[in-house]
Structure 1
């Protein structure tokens, strides 16, 4: 910058005398013009004459500013939908000494009440008499009223939309009263067709996630939901609860009908909460404890940290080994579909069967396979002959049970069992089914 300034100064000093005076005169004229013009410009911006014409752009700007100021005049702490009556009620409540508070992180009964000047003695008596008050949760609301002397008169604890607990002062402490609201249950029919997966199709028909899971669990022993085809139909009768004119998330499945191909599948809820078919027979396929006709000696038990006799390494033994002679018939322990039926290097010839959505069983080291992948089997069906194939130290049958993709001990785990209603329970159930069936109509 200094170099540039020096250059201009040098050039200015070497100008001819005539040009020097001309340039100087122009500089003086421009300076005077700016000095006289500037006050007029500033006055125009700050205070325009009252009778001046406002351009269109300034008019719109003034309108926007006015609207903004109008909105700012609204009290920011009053909701737009708060009616005059509700506002009066709130004002009357504050005047009557009612204080309301929404529980947040770190709040306790003592911290909330002592901040309002309530004595620690009242709070201690209340907390000792009703220990559940120590379990305040975020989102719950409290309201309390004090006497003229500043003592606690009444405390109201809104635990949920259904339950409210009130604590009123009495002579020797406080008395608790509990109010539980009961919603109105209404039956609703949901119908739909398979277009994609059953889950997405059922959700599109209006079923909740809980409803969908209940339908799958109820019918899982009768059909494979993964094999439903586009256009298959379903109809569900569910009871929904309405509380304070608002839909509640509670829902109870009463009956379902699903048609795939030309076959219909049914499930109905009984008073015990379990699902049965139209004849009051349980839908759960019972399991046999052992995969053979008779019980054989256990040569190696279920052990998550067993020393493998072949590899010499500590590896999980996820099943039970039975010392059975080669050629012993191996039976399916429950109804299901064959997932795998093939030969493997380690397992030898083996079969895996899927039972419903949660269960799977595996049978290894077989001599001969009697079923194919995709085949349906019933409890007690012959699926193979035992052998000594794969990594095996001698003739035996390796048997596994998996629940929710987790291996469990086949000898001790709780297995599904077939149930059915009898006597008066069956008669009441059949009568209920007759009422529900006409409502399960497919389009």
Structure 2
């Protein structure tokens, strides 16, 4: 204290006055109360401040606090839309966006299926553990389809995140795929069918050397050519009846997936003209084909048990036998074809004989009801046994050169009540016509299809 007193006494008198004045002002400012001071961080308004000696109802106070005016800034914040995790989950658009973002961040790896490959081998090559393989294998029935249909050359897409398999995609076709995803419940597999759009396609051609070549030149694929022959197979023998100048036209379905071509669907309508006679078929909703009048194209028998092969010998009761050189009735038609060419049953029936002898070689006889019997001789192999029931177009054997023959061919006979008839010209019993209840709707569809056939046929044939 003596030191402080000594210093103070050494100050000039004017300085002592200044220091004293400043100290007095600071003391007054500190002691004066501030009206803006408040102990509440909520800045309560004056009407709800607590007053000494007064009792308050807590519920009333709470209501008063909730109803007080909000600041403009608070109102702005509270009136803005709030986005939460629940909003993202419940909104399809945001869910799709989130899934898209997840796909974008995955590290995708394309894996080509090798010969004799398995899912286990594929996982091992890509550093996936046996545990992951087990989990994926138990992901649902769709993974069983994937395992069964692994084909060499196909590509499996593996999507990784932080070295963990998140997604597997395997295309079964252009319209179907297997997808396996990692979820909170583990791996889940599903088979997905992509939406398919359908538009009409058209083809037409004039036969110059063969029906098959004409179909290819018209832009039809192998399946479409075979289907076209099957539609008219009850009326036209494609191995015997066709001539140069015959023509056909077809309306069919073109399949589109995500705007890209994905193959062909059903033939919707077709017209075939051979030797001056025209046949027209229109597809109904039952999957069957009918004439424009509603009569079934299907008949009890096919005209020929072999497709697209030439005939070396036709029905001729006065022909010379090629082996003996003697005049001997040829009560059937010979279809010359390569050994192993499939032979089908001309109609539904029961095999009454399936055997071998030195003349007929391997042979099959089929009974169709009470009136009809068809016979198939010189087979290389028989695919049916005596007593077996067969369906129309079912394979019963293959073309061969067994028995007394000069080369591989099928000898085909057609008997009505025990009498040989020419398979090419015999009148065949027809199937039932379209259901009368559906005939009106069908006739309308058939009219439209006939218009399309005629219009497009004129355009294409004129262009050629």
TM-score of the superposition, structure 2-length normalised?
0.49
Describe the SS at the equivalent of 2:437. helix
Mapped contact 1:119–1:151 kept (Cα < 8 A): no
Q: CA deviation at 1:127?
A: 0.8
Q: Which deviations, in whole Å up to 9, do the C-alpha atoms of 1:26-54 show, x marking residues without a partner?
A: xxxxxxxxxxxxxxxxxxxxxxxxxxxxx
For 1:347 and 1:217, the matched residues in 2 are separated by 36
What SS does the corresponding residue of 2:332 show, helix, strand or coil? strand
**Counterpart position of 2:331:** 351
Q: Does 1:110 align with 2:120?
A: yes
Q: 2:135 aligns to what? A: 125
* 1:246–1:350 CA distance, 2 compared to 1 (3 A): same
SS at match of 2:299: coil
Which whole-Å deviations, capped at 9, do the CAs of 1:123-153 have from their partners, x for residues lacking one? 21221333524333222322334444x4333
Q: Mark the CA change 1:358 to 1:146 in structure 2 (over 3 Å): closer, same or farther.
A: closer
Cα distance change on mapping 1:105 and 1:287 into 2, 3 Å? closer
Contact 1:342 1:351 in 2 (8 A): no
> Which among 419, 431, 442 is matched to residue 431 of structure 2?
419
Q: Paired residue for 1:138?
A: 152
- Give the Cα separation in 1 of the matches to 2:346 and 2:300: 13
Gaps of 5+ in 2: 1-101, 303-312, 336-342, 348-367, 393-428, 459-464
- Residues 301 and 346 in structure 2, CA contact (< 8 A), matched pair in contact too: no
Aligned to 1:339, the other structure's residue is in SS state: coil
Q: Give the superposition deviation at 1:198.
A: 2.0
State the distance in 2 between where 1:158 and 1:118 align.
21
Contact 2:139 2:180 in 1 (8 A): no
- CA distance 1:280–1:140, change in 2 (3 Å): same
Tell me by how many angstroms 1:433 deviates. 0.9
For residues 163-199 of structure 1, the C-alpha deviation after alignment (integer angstroms, 9 at most, x for no partner) is 2333222334212244322332221222222212222
When residues 193 and 100 of structure 1 are mapped into structure 2, their CA distance, relative to the original with a 3 A threshold, is closer
| Aligned with residue 107 of structure 2, among 97, 102, 105 | 97
2:208 to 195, 208, 217: 195
CA contact (8 A) 2:174 2:262 kept: no
> How far apart are the structure 2 equivalents of 1:272 and 1:358?
24
TM-superposed CA distance for 1:261, in Å, is: 4.5
Counterpart position of 2:31: none
* Structure 1 segments unaligned to the other structure (5+ residues): 1-91, 289-336, 362-378, 384-398
Counterpart secondary structure, 2:174: coil
The structural deviation recorded for 1:264 is: 1.7
Distance in 2 (CA, whole Å) between partners of 1:218 and 1:285 is 11
Give yes or no for contact 1:400–1:410 (8 Å, CA) kept in 2. no
**Could you tell me which residue of structure 2 aligns to residue 341 of structure 1?**
317
Tell me the matched-pair count: 269
Deviation of 1:422 (Å): 1.4
Q: 1:243 aligns with which of 238, 254, 257?
A: 257
Aligned-residue CA RMSD in angstroms? 4.1
Call closer, same or farther: CA 1:94–1:273 in 2, change over 3 Å. closer
Aligned residue in 1 for 2:183: 170
CA distance in 2, matches of 1:129, 1:403: 53
Runs of 4+ in 1 over 6 A off after TM superposition: 92-95, 343-348, 403-411
For 1:173-184, what aligned pairs fall within 5 Å after superposition?
Answer: 173-184=186-197
SS in 1 for 2:138: helix
Q: Check whether the contact 1:141–1:159 (CA below 8 A) recurs between aligned residues.
A: no
Q: Distance in 1 between matches of 2:387 and 2:297?
A: 23
- Aligned pair in 2 of structure 1 residues 171, 190: CA closer, same or farther (>3 Å)? closer
**Partner Cα distance (1:195, 1:256) in 2:** 19
- In structure 2, do the counterparts of structure 1 residues 255 and 98 end up closer, same or farther at CA, with 3 Å as the change threshold? closer
Q: 2:173 aligns with which of 142, 156, 160?
A: 160
Aligned-pair CA distance for 1:360: 6.7
